[in-house]
A and B are shown apart, each in its own frame.
Chain A
Amino acid sequence: MSTTTISLRDILRSLPEGAAEAVVELHFATQLLKALGFGPQEVHPQFPDGNNKFVDRAARKTIGDDVFLHTKSNPYLLLELKGRDINLAEGTKQYQSTVRQLKQYLLAPNCQTAQWGIISNSCHIQLFRKHGKVVFPATQCFALNEDNIDRVVKEIRRKLEQPPKALTVSVYNNKGGVGKTTTTVNLAAILTFLGKKVLAIDFDPNQQDFTSSLGLPLSEGHVFNALNDRDADLLSALDTYAFPLKKGDRELKFDVIPADQELVDASDDSLRKLLKRNMLHRKLAAARQNYDYILIDSPPNWRFFSQLAVYAADVVLIPTKHNNLFSLENAAMAITKFIPEIQAEKADGSPMPLPVFFNGEKITPSQREIAQQEITNIIRAAKKDGFDLLPYFYPRYTSSRRDLHIPHVPSYANIAGAAFSRTPAVYRDRYAHEYYKNLAKEYFLQ
């Protein structure tokens, strides 16, 4: 190990300032993958992604007699290299286009099994994780130098060797009444239906809508205790929602951490004295190895609880309403201000906001036009402050394609009314079922 780390430092020192991609590839990439634990038989250069493009390096450990170099199947890690003449500092145009490129590779047909992607030009390096369809940062974008390269590579290697099983999604909008709870309940239910292991967390003690919409009892101090006591296990507060299927004796089940009665009266101030913002994230460590999805229903506003929920997340799903300007403005506020605040504190690149979707009544063409006008204004305003909101509102928009499509989950009586029957709408109504399945596939499932 020591020999490889020394040579990585040597390489960093010896690479010429404007080294072209081929030079970085020849000297740096080979050593980097070696330091990350991949042997020569476990790395394939110019790996065909299945879309007629080639990834600079793909890697996978040998499994039995399945040697990656020979079978070229099921890559685990993709590496996209650039020359030193390309600036990969976070936020630059070249950085953004490189990240886009990596995402395309990770989602390409031959790379379905890839769980990680790295971009590097030997001056900067960043690790991304792929979970289903979602690609999000797993580290910040490090500026490499001789002093930190050993530490950075070690950290990346540690992550590669212990991939968390779960994707943690916080459903958040600082505007209330946009359907956060409905979204969380139905996503949890449909992901369960699709065979995923789901943990849903009701983190809105003031409303407790989530817990009561499933007819589960409130927790009596367990959650607060688990957050407050460093030795307590959060999963001790666990409850299970079960829905019996008509056929046979099978049932659909997902785990729930219910809202805690004891937290209703706690003020932000008193909580802040007892808890750190990273507490929920820390307490979910075991759950991240256990579930496919952890969904958190977070309270509106930017209260302390919202902050805990957003901190715990890999990605933040933001429901909005097309006919509610505030929900759109607040989504922009969360993306430009609140989430970056947490990112700065968490320092691993996450949580990443997902593109917004419309949750609510049917949209007529003229309403769509008004909403688009509002969004254009919001995007323009953010641009003045140097923030590009375009990908969060119009993910399909490119410079050559003005695609203004925003995913939409229409709500109607059956979805809202489901709360009274203590059953998620997707288990009762076939249209709700299809809409949320569509949402799950649009955002999460590969």
Chain B
Amino acid sequence: MSNLNDVGHLMHLYLDEIDPGDGTHSSEFLIQASAHLLNQKGGRNWVPVIVKEVSEDQYEVIGNTFVYAVAEAAGLERVWCIVADDSSDTQTLTQVLAGEEIPKINLSKASRDEIVAALEYLVEQSGSALQSIKVAVAANRIDEAPRQYWTSLDPIASLKCGITKGKKLNALKQVFYLTPQPMPETITDVAMLQTLSTTELKAMAKKRGIAGISKLKKADLVEVLSQSE
């Protein structure tokens, strides 16, 4: 289906052969004003649209959707495009490089500096739900938590760093993803035990054959489990 020879080429394609894909979220003003400028300044889009070939002479935009929208508004018949391959990796990468999507980092393995940078980025977004959080505090708490075992970002809400469930926690999903390790069979680390619920702790104690735990409070359970093998 795909004509491999065209991959990587700069081509002057007919606009009506290109499917705009997901479309741009840009404002009417930016598109119209840019279209006007494009017509005034020579009519050539030096920044190309990135497309993939979906069938013979049929293309789909995977990056620089804005440029496509401007070319359309400017009434261009043909637009300069770079043909990329049709893998989904290429699409993700192109959208990130074009500044259309936010890249994510792996919170299971990220370094502290990476976490700080990601939080700073989120906080500095205008209208960010996270504007009130203290980056230094949140970064320390997240960094020190047993995040390699997290299967979701929910434990962040219980770190007492100002990031609560709802908008704030959801904002983090823009920049973090997880590839959790399986929980070890025997946990004795206090910090990690504290992230588990009382029910989970009791189940764990039972498994290890510790008696007399049914009436214990969470703090005591943690203590008992941290000292048993």
Chain B binder among A98-106, A168-176, A431-439: A431-439
Q: Closest CB-CB distance, B200 to chain A, in whole Å?
A: 24
A434 CB contacts on chain B under 8 angstroms? 134, 136-137, 140-141
A435, B120: Cβ atoms closer than 8 Å: no
CB contact list, A398-446 vs B, under 8 A = 405, 431, 434-435, 437-438, 441
User: How many A-B contacts at CB < 8 Å in the complex?
Assistant: 19
Please name the residue on chain A nearest to B120 by beta carbon: A405
A438, B136: Cβ atoms closer than 8 Å: yes
Whether, in the assembled complex, B112 has its beta carbon less than 8 Å from a beta carbon of chain A, the answer is yes
Q: Closest CB-CB distance, B97 to chain A, in whole Å?
A: 14
* Contact count band on A: under 10
Q: With A and B bound together, what is the CA distance between A431 and B161 in angstroms?
A: 10
Q: With A and B bound together, what is the CA distance between A348 and B187 in angstroms?
A: 49
Whether, in the assembled complex, B139 has its beta carbon less than 8 Å from a beta carbon of chain A, the answer is yes
A435 CB contacts on chain B under 8 angstroms? 134, 136-137
CB contact list, B54-93 vs A, under 8 A = none
B136 CB contacts on chain A under 8 angstroms? 434-435, 437-438
B120 CB contacts on chain A under 8 angstroms? 405
Please name the residue on chain A nearest to B160 by beta carbon: A430
Please name the residue on chain B nearest to A435 by beta carbon: B136
Q: With A and B bound together, what is the CA distance between A37 and B136 in angstroms?
A: 43
Q: With A and B bound together, what is the CA distance between A405 and B120 in angstroms?
A: 10
Q: With A and B bound together, what is the CA distance between A438 and B135 in angstroms?
A: 9
Q: With A and B bound together, what is the CA distance between A342 and B134 in angstroms?
A: 38
B139 CB contacts on chain A under 8 angstroms? 438
B112 CB contacts on chain A under 8 angstroms? 441
A431 CB contacts on chain B under 8 angstroms? 134, 137
Q: With A and B bound together, what is the CA distance between A437 and B136 in angstroms?
A: 8
CB contact list, B102-153 vs A, under 8 A = 112, 120, 134, 136-137, 139-141
A405 CB contacts on chain B under 8 angstroms? 120
A437, B140: Cβ atoms closer than 8 Å: yes
CB contact list, A44-99 vs B, under 8 A = none
Q: With A and B bound together, what is the CA distance between A431 and B134 in angstroms?
A: 9
Q: With A and B bound together, what is the CA distance between A396 and B156 in angstroms?
A: 28
Q: With A and B bound together, what is the CA distance between A438 and B112 in angstroms?
A: 10
Q: With A and B bound together, what is the CA distance between A353 and B139 in angstroms?
A: 26
Q: With A and B bound together, what is the CA distance between A405 and B116 in angstroms?
A: 12
Q: Closest CB-CB distance, B211 to chain A, in whole Å?
A: 26
B140 CB contacts on chain A under 8 angstroms? 434, 437-438, 441
CB contact list, A354-390 vs B, under 8 A = none
B137 CB contacts on chain A under 8 angstroms? 431, 434-435, 438
Q: With A and B bound together, what is the CA distance between A177 and B136 in angstroms?
A: 24
Q: Closest CB-CB distance, B201 to chain A, in whole Å?
A: 20
A438 CB contacts on chain B under 8 angstroms? 136-137, 139-140
Q: Closest CB-CB distance, B59 to chain A, in whole Å?
A: 31
Which of B112, B136, B137, B141 gathers the greatest number of chain A CB atoms within 10 Å? B136
B134 CB contacts on chain A under 8 angstroms? 431, 434-435
Q: With A and B bound together, what is the CA distance between A434 and B160 in angstroms?
A: 12
Q: With A and B bound together, what is the CA distance between A437 and B139 in angstroms?
A: 10
CB-defined A-B contacts under 8 Å, sample of 14:
A405-B120, A431-B134, A431-B137, A434-B136, A434-B137, A434-B140, A434-B141, A435-B134, A435-B137, A437-B136, A437-B140, A438-B136, A438-B137, A441-B140
Give A contacts to B, CB under 8 Å: 405, 431, 434-435, 437-438, 441
Beyond A435-B137, A438-B139, A441-B140, list 16 extra A-B contacts (CB 8 Å): A405-B120, A431-B134, A431-B137, A434-B134, A434-B136, A434-B137, A434-B140, A434-B141, A435-B134, A435-B136, A437-B136, A437-B140, A438-B136, A438-B137, A438-B140, A441-B112
State the 7 A-B residue pairs at the shortest beta-carbon distance, nearest first.
A438-B136, A434-B137, A434-B140, A435-B136, A434-B136, A437-B140, A438-B140
